[in-house]
Structure 1
Amino acid sequence: MDIVRNLEGRTALVTGGNRGIGAAISRRLSAHGADVALTFARNKDQAEEVAEEIRAAGSRALAVAADAADPEAVRAAVDAVAREFGRIDILVNNAGYMDMSMPALEETSLEVLDRTLDVNTRGAFLTAQAAARHMGEGGRIVNVGSCLATHVPGPGMTAYAMSKAALSGLTLGLARDLGPRGITVNQVAPGSIDTDMNPADGPSAEYQRSQNVFGRYGTADEIAHTVAYLVSPEASFVTGAAIAVDGGSNL
């Protein structure tokens, strides 16, 4: 089926757009016609590879170094995108952090707690705050949350679950604040998605598959499809929504 190019003439910023879900979102939005800027924290070569794929497909692309935990880097990245493309129509707050060692509550360090909140919550707030200054009517913000914000199936996830639950509140607040300007704000909450951070053949994969009704991992493209709908003109009356793409993990 041909992809409808319903985002032509629009510019998207995808944080953490160089890998996994973020890369899939970056490619999907460009396939719909958007020019795409993507941020990365460390792997410049990986980010440039995604950007080059987007350019080869016919859209403009820009890779910008910005650690979501660094307020000045976040603001500078947003301003750089606005200068390069002249506008920001779409923001996807995808950058995230989770300590994959799953430390027990008593063993969770202040460093881990701070980075989790700084990337997942404060970083999303600051990016939205900066991007909103460049958005006009019809703007779109999508926050990539997690099913773990409402369902915590095991220990070691307290800091991450807390940060993603806060992201849900941020989504609602932004939707109320920006709605009068014609900007929608929504959230996508993935479940277990097959990425390099959480591979479908990883040590906990069998357990994770058992937590949803389909008994499988989702794909990054399945998240990207949902984001593409939420930023499209067809979703102009959808705001403050949280769409679970988790295979029924919370049922």
Structure 2
Amino acid sequence: MTYLLLPRLHIRAANALAGNAAISPAKVMACVLFGHNLGLKINCRPSRVAILHHDAQLLGEYGSDGFYDFHPQQRRGATFIDSVDYSSKNPHALSLQPTASCHLTLSLLFEVRGGINIERVKRFLRTARIAGGNIDSHGEIEAADDLDALHLPKGFWLIERSDLLDTDGSPVDALVTAIGRKSVRAEAPETRNPGDPPPPLPDSWLAASVLGYAMTTPFEPRAGVRQTDDGETPLHAFCEPLLGLVQYVSTKDYGPRPIPWWEHTWLQDDVFVVRQTQSIPSV
């Protein structure tokens, strides 16, 4: 097994719209699928990814009430829909499309099966995108057979917090309640001895994120579907995003816990999800 570190990827104008219900810079699904694309281009197989968040800037305007009066930047459509722009009173003008964008700085750590050619990775990053955003720059890429040989930067791990949504009530209500609750910083013991369990995680920095897709139609051949690099036309299905809950935890607070890897899987034939491979202790 080989580990690949892509440090401090500066991503410009990434998509921040998490379905129709939330705006979020936590791009877990996008990072997992970015790893899949990376593997296809450099002839290896990234099996898991860990996400270190450094910075995010939502693109929009803020009113007098701060974040709660945030208005994301909007863009006009590039083409008419069926030759008629259905949402504009002006028959010669293109309507605004619902969008939300952000600038991101992330470090991605991949667990890879197969060899890694650093020069091919660099060439891939010149034109690659994450969540639709351009990668303008990055730090020094590293690859090693031992995690301890990598120079992981400081930042905030993205970890899964589905445990906060385990409720008998509405999962939507549980998501809103979890995000809106008052944060409480866990108190670490004054002294720690070797072998002691890591300190409790802080209860803060929760965000909604797309963690899966549920198909709403069967997979079947459709016109206009994007082809693969080999020229094949894959089967296509329409789907709806599945929102989950993630938490930003600083590397200092996270401590010596296992790396919070994300990987993709099919729960059933019509539900595709990303999830963490080991459980994170609750706060």
Scaled by the length of structure 2, the TM-score of the pair is 0.23
Structure with greater contact order relative to length (CA < 8 Å, sep ≥ 6): 2
Write 1 or 2 for the structure with the bigger share of strand: 2
Write 1 or 2 for the structure with the bigger share of helix: 1
Scaled by the length of structure 1, the TM-score of the pair is 0.25
